[in-house]
Structure 1
Amino acid sequence: MAQERTALTALNADRLIDLGGSGSPVNGTSRPRGNRLHAEVSALNRADAEASMLVSSAQQRAISAEDRQSILSFSPEEIDLLPVARGGDEFKCLAEALYFEARGESIAGMVAVAEVILNRVESDDFPDTVCKVVNQGTGKLHQCQFSYTCDGRSDRIRNQAAYERVAKVARIMMDGQPRMLTGGATHYHTLRVRPRWTKNLSRTARIGAHVFYRNNA
């Protein structure tokens, strides 16, 4: 179809006239080939224009309550169509955490990590802001809560498209997306490890590359 669209669009009026002649009989008459090609070019151009308008509308629409409720049904490509997410320091801390901890995950995997961070904010056992939760223990040997804050690697955002995607998830989560995936989890680890602290917690879910836990109490 793309090749046909390119070829048809390249035909100008004079070329269409040159190609004119008898087409297939319709109700006993003949339709000029030039007229038929004109109609096909117009139809393709209208389809392209309508598709462009739909994408533009999706990119500019506000995130509604329905959007927030249905984020788990969004594909990564649909998340990408949402407006660029913005916010203050707490939003930025959550977006950064999702970038380094979950940017390779599905939307559900990103949401699950965000749930843990936000659950910690509401727990009496952890600091009461996103930034304090994410940076808890940073700089202290074996005490950082999120490995990217003390692994010695650069925290520079190198993949802007991935960051914009996780930032949209962070924005939606901070704006009230129900936390339904992890059963109130306040901890997680990757499938590559099995920390000793898991013995004192209840496992609640496995989503993507992470296993989630909450306090037994």
Structure 2
Amino acid sequence: MTFALGGLISTSTITNAAEIDRPALAPMTINAADNASARTLVPSVFPTLVPEILTAPKPVPATFSSLDAAVAAHAVGEAGNEEALRCLATTVYFESKGEPLAGQLAVAHVVLNRARSGRFASDVCGVVKQRGQFSFVRRGVLPAVDAVNRMYRTAEAVAKVALASSWKSPAPNALFFNGRKVGLPGRLTKVALIGNHIFYR
């Protein structure tokens, strides 16, 4: 602001400088030429520009003919949030490797449902690392997995499908799961039986 005022004073004509010395009560006369030049010093008002990220339409998830096709399509390419992908893929791998793809996807959606529920941590890694929830997590640390392991790569693709909402969960709104032979205490509603897991909400 200081530089802008300085620029206005330095570009004023001698006539304007003389008028500044006049007594405050003396009427000031401004001819049309002076008024026109004064108008040119007023900065233009530009319209507010809305960032493109706010105006761009949200991407629509791709449609697939089957869950197999969705997993195959997500087997390549990067994910938006690499840390969330790692946490979710590791959970799918340790909790459901060897299960049918539908069972693996249901496990991934349990984590996502928990993050949205308000009853658990609010992000994927927070849910996975929450104390006492997943037995493969030790003191909040995920075990290392060989990234080229075939079963892990499948788990990673399933996690990408879940994160991209590319296929609906076969266990809608499930927040819990366990093995068929393991009883789950409490009043929970059974949602689905997939492979060797029962899913509840």
The gaps in structure 1 that reach 5 residues or longer are 1-63, 138-143
User: 1:79 maps to what in 2?
Assistant: 72
The gaps in structure 2 that reach 5 residues or longer are 1-60
User: 1:195 maps to what in 2?
Assistant: 184
Alpha-carbon contact 1:204-1:212 (below 8 Å) kept: yes
What is the root-mean-square deviation in Å for CA atoms of aligned residues?
2.7
Q: Residues 62-116 of structure 1: CA distance to partner in whole angstroms, max 9, x if unpaired?
A: xx7023xx452449xx738942554411111101111111111111111110111
Instruction: Between the two structures, name the one with larger relative contact order (CA 8 Å, sep ≥ 6).
Output: 2
Give the secondary-structure state (helix, strand or coil) at the position aligned to 1:181: coil
User: 2:5 maps to what in 1?
Assistant: none
TM-score by length of 2: 0.60
Q: Residues 1-40 of structure 1: CA distance to partner in whole angstroms, max 9, x if unpaired?
A: xxxxxxxxxxxxxxxxxxxxxxxxxxxxxxxxxxxxxxxx
For 1:177 and 1:81, locate their aligned partners in 2 and report how far apart those are by CA, in whole Å: 9
Identity percentage over the alignment? 31
For 1:82 and 1:122, locate their aligned partners in 2 and report how far apart those are by CA, in whole Å: 25
Q: Residues 33-60 of structure 1: CA distance to partner in whole angstroms, max 9, x if unpaired?
A: xxxxxxxxxxxxxxxxxxxxxxxxxxxx
Q: Which has the larger radius of gyration?
A: 2
- Indicate how the Cα distance of structure 1 residues 71 and 134 shifts in structure 2: closer, same or farther if over 3 A, else same: farther
The match for 2:161 among 172, 177, 182 is: 172
Instruction: State yes or no: 1:130 paired with 2:118.
Output: no
2:120 alignment partner AA: F
- Indicate how the Cα distance of structure 1 residues 208 and 117 shifts in structure 2: closer, same or farther if over 3 A, else same: same
1:96 alignment partner AA: T
TM-score by length of 1: 0.56
User: 1:18 maps to what in 2?
Assistant: none
Instruction: State yes or no: 1:157 paired with 2:145.
Output: yes
Give the secondary-structure state (helix, strand or coil) at the position aligned to 1:206: strand
For 1:146 and 1:130, locate their aligned partners in 2 and report how far apart those are by CA, in whole Å: 13
For 1:81 and 1:114, locate their aligned partners in 2 and report how far apart those are by CA, in whole Å: 14
